């Protein structure tokens, strides 16, 4: 019984770690962070940032919580759609939530001091950040990240080698493509 319990805990940890890594490395770093950076640079939002300083903290808190709940709800529903066989609709729904999430993160970043005026919010934020730090300290997380970093380096090296081999200025592959292009071009001119 103890063995089964350990295996179940390990499986749950693995699912949690993989889910977190997918979110952080693929969704956040690859997609949402560039959108967040773009959103943050918009002049309209820079003006809105100044307006936020004059709005009561309670209004900002309610707006942030509603947006966060909507974003998380869309993500969960997209996951349900994806798992239930509607992968395309689920992926599209998830893609539409990313700009909303980027705006929500922007709102949090620019109004964080105001949100932290609420002791319960500050406590919840600190507990969440501590939990994330604990998750990142798990041996399974560290090992999985190390494997992903190695895989990423191997993939990049493979892409570089592929480009050098087949798409260098004078590779056999490129010369063959040029010859083929010229043959086709001459054949089309004859008609």
pLDDT of residue 118: 92
So what's the pLDDT on residue 60?
A: 92
Query: Are 12 and 71 in the same domain?
Result: yes
Residue with tokens 């962070």: 33
pLDDT at 20 over 60: no
User: Is residue 142 a part of any domain in this protein?
Assistant: yes
| 130 within domain boundaries | no
Number of structural domains (the chain) is: 2
* Burial profile 125-140: b = 16 or more Cβ within 10 angstroms, e = fewer: eeeeeeeeeeeeeeee
Whether residue 132 lies inside any domain: the answer is no
Task: State the residue range of the domain holding 189.
Answer: 138-191
Give the whole-angstrom CA distance, residue 102 versus residue 153: 28
Q: What is the pTM of this model?
A: 0.58
Residues 106 and 27 in one domain: yes
* Co-location of 10 and 85 in the same domain: yes
Please tell me whether residues 99 and 25 are part of one structural domain.
Answer: yes
Q: From the CB of residue 22, how many other CB atoms can be counted at a distance below 10 Å?
A: 11
* pLDDT score, position 11: 64
* One domain for residues 81 and 8: yes
Is residue 158 over pLDDT 80?
yes
């Amino acid at each position: 019984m103890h063995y089964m319990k350990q295996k179940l805990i390990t499986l749950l940890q693995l699912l949690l770690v993989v889910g977190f890594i997918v979110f952080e490395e693929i969704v956040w770093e690859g997609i949402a962070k560039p959108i967040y950076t773009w959103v943050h640079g918009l002049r309209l939002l820079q003006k809105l940032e100044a307006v936020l300083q004059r709005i009561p903290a309670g209004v900002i808190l309610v707006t942030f919580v509603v947006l966060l709940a909507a974003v998380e709800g869309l993500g969960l529903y997209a996951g349900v759609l994806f798992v239930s066989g509607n992968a395309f609709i689920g992926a599209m729904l998830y893609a539409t939530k990313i700009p909303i999430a980027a705006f929500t993160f922007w709102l949090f970043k620019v109004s964080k001091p105001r949100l932290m005026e609420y002791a319960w919010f500050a406590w919840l934020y600190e507990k969440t950040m501590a939990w994330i730090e604990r998750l990142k300290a798990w041996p399974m997380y560290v090992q999985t990240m190390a494997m992903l970093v190695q895989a990423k380096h191997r993939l990049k090296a493979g892409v570089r080698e592929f480009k050098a081999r087949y798409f260098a200025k004078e590779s056999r592959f490129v010369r063959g493509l040029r010859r083929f292009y010229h043959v086709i071009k001459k054949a089309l001119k004859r008609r």
